[in-house]
Structure 1
Amino acid sequence: MVFIIFALLLLGLFLGSVAHIPIPVSLIAGGLIAIWLTIFTVRERRAGRSEGDA
């Protein structure tokens, strides 16, 4: 849960600074956050299945 809060905090910081940084940098940062959240989701789902919480 802390990871999701941290990711949303980073996303908010990047969205707040979009007007001040170049578009390619914003897109790369957004892509990295999306990849990070995808990896987190996959790991959480696999951990849930192994514990029988599916």
Structure 2
Amino acid sequence: MTLSHSPEEDAQKIVSRHIKLLHRYNEAKDAAQIIIGKLAVQKKTTIRQIHEDYGLTDDD
């Protein structure tokens, strides 16, 4: 028995998965920025300097 799916159902699944992955990515990025901020405070420097020290770009 073969189950057929409409293109709309398949597209909706793809979009839903993409949104979930973006949400997880944003949570991880936010957590990393919090850690970088705390590191900057501990080292008494700026977040920008921490980014430079670790070779991070604005896109990271």
TM over 0.5: yes
Q: Deviations over 1:7-48 (max 9, x none)?
A: xxxxxxxxxxxx7x6111000000010001000000000010
1:50 aligned to which of 22, 42, 56: 42
Displaced runs of 4+ in structure 1, greater than 6 A? none
Give unpaired runs (5+ residues) of structure 2. 1-10, 47-60
Q: Which has the higher helix share?
A: 1
TM-score, normalised with respect to structure 1: 0.58
Map residues 18-37 of structure 1 onto 2, 5 A cutoff: 22-37=14-29
**Bigger Rg over Cα:** 2
Larger RCO: Structure 1 or Structure 2 (Cα < 8 Å, ≥ 6 residues apart)? 1
Identity %: 3
Give unpaired runs (5+ residues) of structure 1. 1-18
Q: Specify the SS of the correspondent of 1:38.
A: helix
RMSD: 1.6
